[in-house]
Amino acid sequence: MLIRSFAEAEEIARKVGPKKISVLKAENREFLLALKEAHQRGYGEPVLIGDERKIREIAGEIGFDISKFDVIDSRDPQEIADRGVRLAAMGETHFVLRGYIDGPPLYRSLIRTSAKGENKRQICVVALMQFPVLPKLIGLTDTGITVAPDFGAKMAIIKNAADLFSRLGYESPQVGIITARRGLNDDLDSVSDAIKLKEAFAKGEFPECLIVDGLSLSDFFLGTEGFLEGLDGVDYSRIPDILLVHNLEFGNIFVKIDSIAERDFFSGVRRHGFIVGAGIPTVIPSRADTHKTIITDIALGVLIS
């Protein structure tokens, strides 16, 4: 079933669950509140990894009965990440949920696990975004791991993002490549890579997706004329499902647009993040997220695992 909004994801996850979840560094009130409600909704059962004393203390404070769940006592961030990823790699859990832990230990663990597998792929972050004016979700990648991907890395990133979208019901998702093209600078790496990616697509090297025409946000959102008088003129069929950015700096800056949504500049924009390519479904909430947002993260993890 095609997932067009985060509300749809939460509803469908009730039917798909329950799934087992590796929760990394679970000793946080918001994460445990989210896990409590997610369990009540039938999304899944957590394996709680972290400071056992703090986990049990917070669970008691919020009335979350964790007596039937596995609790693994660990204080070292790298050990916590390794334990959670290993459980998912062995099939004992279905996906990994980053709890109150920094990104690097998790990235290292996923990279090491992926390197041991047969299908070694580029690991990257896909930010899944919901804009109130659009009738579907938009993926932006890579926004968190690959600092300056070359042509080969970009090919892998596209394949990873297309695989994620296929799990959300998007058949042959459309991919738009964002560049800085401005007439006099066609020799930019972003432009030359885009041309080579489109040539690769024409040769059939991206059977899992469709690379669409256009090289800028204005091409995709405003059309060939580059100007619209109102939203009624938007051709939604032109807007890609996935946007590939040239480097991490732009992707990370752009994706933080949701952080000012509460100030009404971009009201209603929402974002959830995934690490893809390691063969282990991994959802990465922000440590600043509230439990309501983390519940959606868990629902999405149920759907992609």
Task: Give pLDDT, residue 245.
Answer: 95
**161 with 126: CB under 8 angstroms?**
yes
As a whole number of Å, the end-to-end CA separation of the chain is 15
Mean pLDDT of 144-151: 93
**29 with 51: CB under 8 angstroms?**
no
Q: How many CB atoms lie within 10 A of CB 188?
A: 14
Mean pLDDT of 82-101: 97
Mean pLDDT of 148-169: 96
Whether domain 122-277 has CATH 2.30.29.30? no
Residue 229 has pLDDT above 80, yes or no: no
Strands laid side by side in the 174-177 sheet: 71-73, 44-50, 19-24, 95-98, 282-283, 270-276, 124-130, 137-141, 242-244, 174-177, 210-211
Residue 30 has pLDDT above 90, yes or no: yes
The overall longest dimension of the chain from CA atoms, in Å, is 65
Least confident stretch, 206-215, 219-228, 291-300? 219-228
pLDDT digits (tens, 9 = 90+) for 257-305: 766 555 554 567 899 999 999 999 999 998 888 999 999 999 999 999 9
Mean pLDDT of 238-255: 90
| Chain region(s) in the chain for CATH 3.40.50.10950 | 1-119+290-305
Per CATH, the architecture of 1-119+290-305 is what? 3-Layer(aba) Sandwich (3.40)
At 102, the amino acid letter reads: D
Higher pLDDT, 132 or 52: 52
Q: Where are the alpha helices (DSSP H) in the chain?
A: 6-16, 29-41, 52-61, 77-89, 103-116, 151-167, 189-202, 217-222, 248-255, 291-304
Residue 89 burial by Cβ neighbours in a 10 Å radius (0-12, 13-18, 19+):
buried
**d(Cα 257, Cα 277) in Å, to the nearest integer?**
25
Q: How confident is the model at residue 141 (pLDDT cuts 50, 70, 90)?
A: very high
Task: Give pLDDT, residue 231.
Answer: 60
| Chain region(s) in the chain for CATH 3.40.718.10 | 122-277
Q: Is 237 helix (H, G, I), strand (E, B) or coil?
A: helix
**d(Cα 105, Cα 64) in Å, to the nearest integer?**
28
- Dihedral sign for Cα 123, 124, 129, 135, please: negative
